[in-house]
Amino acid sequence: MSRKGSDFAGLSVAIITPFRDGKLDVDRLKEQIEFQIESGTNCVVPCGTTGESPTLSHPEHERVISETIQISSGRIKVMAGTGSNSTDEAISLTEWAAKEGADATLQVAPYYNKPTQEGMFQHYKAISEAISIPICVYNIPGRTGKNIEPETIARIGEFENVTMVKEATGSLDQASQILALTNLTVLSGDDSLTLPLLSIGAEGVVSVVGNIVPRDMIAMVKAFLSGDAIEAQRWHHKLFPLCRDMLGLATNPIPLKAAMAEIGRDSGELRLPMTPLDETQLDSLRQTLSTYGIEAVAV
């Protein structure tokens, strides 16, 4: 069965927002997008959780999206993170992204205010009616405090431009229900669960570790989708320690930015309230990178 958002199948990478002396580092952003294009990544996702969107000002949020679209120049899809716990704000950000030329929008479930399931439905209904670009519903109750239940996602999925779900509940049961109830494309929201989710019908991943090893993530997804489960399992087991550290050592994107600094692809600079890894955590990360075969760059 062909699903609504299948053109976003494969690897999407939730890119970081690179900072230098507290400000957006556009040159580094360009380097990272070019790296993803060269690697064969299908889509980049600016201003998600990995992009530290909660700490970006509104002008910065809009600039990161605009710069990403301009740098990409149609060579790679852009799914702009424009969600909010305020429906009006989500619409405003999404209208901006659509005007700038975003290919889709990543819409996180309203966080902190914990709406009812009807509130969730009305939130996405309002966004869907206000814009025309494809919408990816981002369900991550560990961050937002409230799950969007499968039945609610099925209702939301009836809107023509709601085409995808970024599934980050950690529940294969929930993902299975969504796939059974809807025609939506399911994308894994957890790197380490990508292969299990592919096995039940997901079609790709919005990846954190893809910032570092996009070709390897692509190889795993392609192996499974081409019917080579053994090769896909081999990639899964190789990638797993790296995926684990990106989310397990500290809150995303702290370990990722540390890893990218180690390999010379970012300054590693974070914004408060995010703080760097301590020395024990950093030593553990270095060991994982070394074991994987990723060499650190001498400073």
Q: Tell me, what DSSP letter sits at residue 280?
A: H
Q: Which helix (H) or strand (E) holds 187?
A: strand 185-188
Q: Rounded to an integer, what distance in angstroms lies between the CA atom of residue 286 and that of residue 255? A: 10
pLDDT at 1: 64
Chain CA centroid to CA 187, Å: 9
- pLDDT of 26-83, one tens digit each? 999 999 999 999 999 999 999 999 999 999 999 999 999 999 999 999 999 999 999 9
Element (H, E) at 112: none
Q: Where are the domains of the chain?
A: 6-227
pLDDT for residue 189? 97
pLDDT tens track for 116-144: 999 999 999 999 999 999 999 999 999 99
At 295 the pLDDT is 86
pTM: 0.96
pLDDT for the residue numbered 2? 81
Residues with pLDDT less than 50, the chain: none
Taking Cα atoms as reference points, which of 209, 198, 211 lies closest to residue 238?
A: 209
HSE of 72, CA atoms in CB hemisphere, 13 A: 26
Angle, helices 229-248/254-262, rounded to nearest 10 degrees? 100
Number of Cβ within a 10 Å radius of residue 280: 9
Superfamily classification of domain 6-227: Aldolase class I (3.20.20.70)
Per-residue model confidence (pLDDT) at position 98: 97
Tell me the catalytic residues: 138, 166
Structure confidence at residue 299 (pLDDT): 53
Neighbours of 41 (CB within 10 A): 24
The Cα–Cα gap between 33 and 56 comes to 19
